[in-house]
A and B are shown apart, each in its own frame.
Chain A
Amino acid sequence: MRRDVFQAIADPTRREIISLLASQQLNLNAVADKFDISRPAVSKHIRILAECGLITIKQQGRERFCQANFKKLKQVEDWAAQYRKFWNNKLDALENFLDEEKTTKLK
């Protein structure tokens, strides 16, 4: 089974869980309470997110807390950013070309 950050965010419930954990650490029950789906279903999403490295689960006393792992999320943003960077580089080249064309004509 493929387990990476791209798969983690492919599911809407998992995206919601990440958003929820973005602002706060929550224990497993608190996460499950926010959703209408069954507790085992929420647990499964949390397990996938943990396997993908997007959240970490820490045992604190009798409770298990979930925390988002932002370094992993950055990977997804980086992938999108590569295309942004690519087109920005091309625009730099176009800008230079147009400037040079103008200068050559003035000479």
Chain B
Amino acid sequence: METQPLIVERTLNAPASKVWEALTDNEKMKQWYFKLESFEPRVGFEFSFAGQGSTGEKHTHLCRVTAVEPEKKLSYTWRYEGFPGDSEVSFELFPEDDKTLVRITHTGLETMPQNGPDFAVSSFSKGWNYILGESLKKFVEEQ
């Protein structure tokens, strides 16, 4: 079943080459992203880090690079050690004059644990589109 990804976009005041370096050069990544032991923008490269996740949890993040198109696209899988679920994060860069539109697409979030490891993923995935879909969003905002 196809589910809707989470998409976050931002236009950054820097050329795509600089944004790409910030996304792929470990020394630069350390300054704004996560402190990784090593990072290589190469398909198949695996890395992990004990980071604070989106919900404040401190789990080991396990990632594997799945797509590398210099200055255009970087993707890696994103999951938590010891938990079900496998999601994927993509960073896409779109040059706009001397600025760059960055689009982060997080797919497979519906497979991630919501309430801990005993979460019944299968039942939730079908509700995912509903959550990200306009209907619920509008309907919640209108209240």
Q: Which A residues lie at the B interface, using CB under 8 A?
A: 2, 4, 6-7, 9-12, 15, 19, 22, 70, 73-74, 76-77, 79-80, 82-88, 90-91, 93-99, 101-102
* Neighbouring B residues of A91 by C-beta, 8 Å: 8, 10, 12, 102, 104
B54 touches A70 (CB 8 A): no
- Residue in B closest to A97 when the chains form the complex, CB atoms: B32
Q: Tell me, in angstroms, the Cα distance from A97 to B32 when the chains sit together.
A: 6
Residue from A10, A80, A85, A99 in contact with B13 in the complex, judged by beta carbons closer than 8 Å: A99
* Neighbouring A residues of B119 by C-beta, 8 Å: 6
B124 touches A97 (CB 8 A): no
- Tell me the count of chain B residues lying within 8 A, CB to CB, of chain A: 37
Q: Tell me, in angstroms, the Cα distance from A80 to B8 when the chains sit together.
A: 12
Cβ-closest 7 pairs across A and B: A86-B54, A10-B123, A97-B32, A9-B127, A93-B32, A98-B14, A87-B8
Q: Which B residues lie at the A interface, using CB under 8 A?
A: 6, 8, 10, 12-14, 18-19, 22, 28, 31-33, 53-55, 102, 104, 106, 109, 114-115, 119-120, 123-124, 126-127, 130-132, 135-137, 139-140, 143
DSSP majority for the A interface? helix
Q: Tell me, in angstroms, the Cα distance from A73 to B115 when the chains sit together.
A: 16
